[in-house]
Amino acid sequence: MPELPEVETTRRGVAPYLQDRRVEALLVRQPRLRWPVPQQLAALLEGQQVREVARRGKYLLIGFDAGTLLVHLGMSGSLRLVPREQPPGKHDHVDLVLDSGLALRLTDPRRFGAVLWQPLETVHELLASLGPEPLSADFDAACLQRACKGRRSPIKQVIMDSKVVVGVGNIYANEALFAAGIHPKRAAGRISAERLTVLVGEIKAVLARAIEQGGTTLRDFVGGDGKPGYFAQQLNVYGRAGKACVRCGAPLREIRLGQRSTVFCPNCQK
């Protein structure tokens, strides 16, 4: 699943081609995505000018005077800029056709993505309960300490809770916990303030490095400019079960937490 760094990479890739362009049409070939594409969306967007291209968690937000288009890539989705006349493939479900002659094309083989609408001066229900952005000043040690206080849940599940902090998906939760030396199953409420402070710093550092290098290429993801991410070359634990720890050489172990693959070093993470 594309995670926050991949979505941010996509945003940066497509933003220069969307900013200030006018929408000539919205072509919906398959409206049955994770949620149905609103029927009135094509008529609403025609003639609208793109005012901004932002991101909230894993949602790409394309802002117009009348509201905001929400795009989620789901499990296997990608966005590419293509010539408007380029014939669509089997899984090319939605085109945002621009006055530049390009189209922003959503490709989504599994159809778990979404194209939704947020009217002006409203907050979509999918965004309303989201926690702070992990790279913002709002997500700090005090924020995580409040979220962990008294909780018996494994720390990995806490930092992957979008109500606590958005966008810390499975890959980066594994990597940040390894970097902080914290066992993923440790009860959140039993971790000291000092160790949580370290964890916040590592979450920010891991995500920042991933964004800088263009996200992580795993199966289906490529950036909006067609270039793959490169962070996979630097993964220390994720996808490396049974291999030697880069710090101590011990075999990395894999367990399931919340139905997610969780890889850790039994020596380095306590």
pLDDT for res 22: 98
pLDDT for res 212: 86
- The one catalytic residue among 55, 56, 58, 105: 58
Q: Which listed CATH number (1.10.3660.10, 3.20.20.105, 1.10.1370.40, 1.10.8.50) goes with 141-264?
A: 1.10.8.50
**Domain boundaries in the chain?**
4-128, 141-264
Please determine, for residue 256, whether its predicted confidence score (pLDDT) is greater than 60: yes
List pLDDT tens digits, range 84-122. Answer: 999 999 999 999 999 999 999 999 999 999 999 999 999
For residue 3, indicate whether it is catalytic.
Answer: yes
pLDDT for res 216: 63
For residue 209, indicate whether it is catalytic.
Answer: no
Please determine, for residue 221, whether its predicted confidence score (pLDDT) is greater than 70: no
Does the annotation list 151 as a binding residue? yes
For residue 133, indicate whether it is catalytic.
Answer: no
Q: How far is CA 158 from CA 79, 114, 150, 187, 270, in A?
A: 30, 25, 12, 9, 17
Does the annotation list 91 as a binding residue? yes
* 40 phi/psi in degrees, rounded to 5: -85, 0
Q: How far is CA 222 from CA 23, 230, 253, in A?
A: 24, 10, 29
For residue 58, indicate whether it is catalytic.
Answer: yes
β-pairing, 92-98 vs 102-107, is: antiparallel
Q: How far is CA 105 from CA 63, 95, 113, 166, in A?
A: 17, 4, 13, 25
Give the residues across from 178 on adjacent strands: none
In whole angstroms, give the CA distance from residue 14 to residue 11: 5
Name the superfamily (CATH) of residues 4-128: MutM-like, N-terminal (3.20.190.10)
Does the annotation list 146 as a binding residue? no
- Written as six digits, the tokens of 65 are 């005077």
- The one catalytic residue among 2, 134, 154, 184: 2
Q: What would the DSSP string read from start to end of 38-106?
A: PTTHHHHHTTPBP-EEEEETTEEEEEETTEEEEEE-TTT-EEEEEETTSPP-TTEEEEEEETTSEEEEE
pLDDT for res 246: 97
Global pTM reads 0.88
